[in-house]
A and B are shown apart, each in its own frame.
Chain A
Amino acid sequence: MESGDRTWEVFIQKKPGLAFKHAGSCHGYDKKMAIQNARDLYTRRGEGRALWVVPTEAIVSVPLDDAEAFFDPGEDKAYRHATFYKIPDGVSHL
């Protein structure tokens, strides 16, 4: 597309109560066009019941160079995983 065009990140919620998941991105000049485009690209096969679009530039990401400092310290700390607990029956989305 031409000038004025922006990209948007698309998030879909499969069912009420579940977290929105990133599905991909789409183009759009404004919010209205973005949400319609997201609908046409990502929800054609019953993927969800709710939809978010967020301007791509609103997403803040970790600079590649800093990835080691951000993530490596978590790798060898198994005690941070919640695997030492019993999950009560009936909790399905933990």
Chain B
Amino acid sequence: MKLELQHDESKFLIRLADTSVILGQRLAEMCSRGPFLEEDMALSNISLDLFGRAEELYKLICKIEGADYTPDDLVYRRNEREYYNIKLVEQPNEDFAWVIARQFFHDLYAETLFGQLTTSSNAELAGLAVKVLKEIKYSHMHAADWMDRLGLGTEESNHRLQYAVDHLRKYIVEIFDFDDLDRRFIADTASLETTWRNAVSAKLQACNIEEKEIVTPSIRDFRDGYHSEHMGNLLSIMQYLPRAYPDAKW
């Protein structure tokens, strides 16, 4: 489909929805690959929460647009350049440390963001924000706990977490490079950034991970539909079934 959103609010919301669905897909890839049974279930639970969050956001978008397409259409029938998720969440599951660092970075951002959206003038969005905030808080707690365990664990686990953090931090700058749309729908963009940066610095220090000088790669903005090289591969797997069998029902 060629997606052309007409309303500013849905142009903003699709960034949140896409970020949720892509991270949900990354965590779904961990299903049956968790380090042990309980953690496998935990990651799958968080994945399902993210899919649920995304679906509700897509429904809001469909409603605002008065569209004849559905959340399924939005997820399965858009191409890479029509996706507007932050690049952080499309980064691959290189190892468990990557999964945890990516989740920690995302959850901190999502917690402040949805916290601010609880006072949105769109009552449905505000209500949704209140509901998902509880999920995000648990996920954040879970990820923060693992940051400590990996960072303060063995030399190997610390090394792996350091490597993951160094890589993933390259994809942070664009998140806070706000545009007019962000500033219109996020109550306080400045505090979103400072809250995130302060909390991350404190956590990295506490779990013995170095906050190195990062050379941010020259990448184009996710807000214009640009992605890292991992996105196409992720979509080809996520969208395979409905694209190969357009009439499939499930």
Chain A residues proximal to chain B, CB less than 8 Å = 1, 26-28, 32-33, 36-37, 40-41, 44
Contact = CB atoms under 8 A, between A and B. Distances in A.
Contacts, number: 25
B34 to A, nearest CB: 10
B45 A37 contact: no
A40 B145 contact: no
A82 B141 CA distance: 47
Given A1-B35, A40-B41, A40-B45, 7 more contacts: A26-B38, A36-B145, A37-B39, A37-B42, A40-B38, A41-B37, A44-B45
Nearest to A40: B42
A92 B114 CA distance: 42
Interface of B: 35-39, 41-42, 45, 141-142, 145, 149
A12 to B, nearest CB: 16
A27 B37 CA distance: 9
A81 B39 CA distance: 45
A44 B141 CA distance: 16
B36 A27 contact: yes
Contact of A36 (B36, B37, B142): B142
Given A33-B145, A36-B145, A41 B41 contact: yes
SS class of chain A's interface: helix, strand, loop or mixed? helix
A36 B38 CA distance: 9
A32 B148 CA distance: 12
Nearest to B48: A44
Contacts of B142: 36
A53 B152 CA distance: 24
8 contacts: A27-B38, A36-B142, A37-B39, A40-B38, A40-B41, A41-B37, A41-B41, A44-B45
Nearest to B45: A40
A37 B35 CA distance: 13
A68 to B, nearest CB: 36
A27 B34 CA distance: 14
Contacts of A26: 38
Contacts of A27: 36-38
Contacts of B39: 37
The 6 A-B residue pairs with the shortest CB-CB distance, nearest first, are: A37-B38, A40-B42, A40-B41, A1-B36, A26-B38, A40-B45
Nearest to B38: A37
Interface centre among A27, A28, A36 (most CB of B within 10 A): A36
A27 B145 CA distance: 16
Nearest to B141: A36
Contacts of A36: 42, 141-142, 145
Nearest to B43: A40
A4 to B, nearest CB: 11
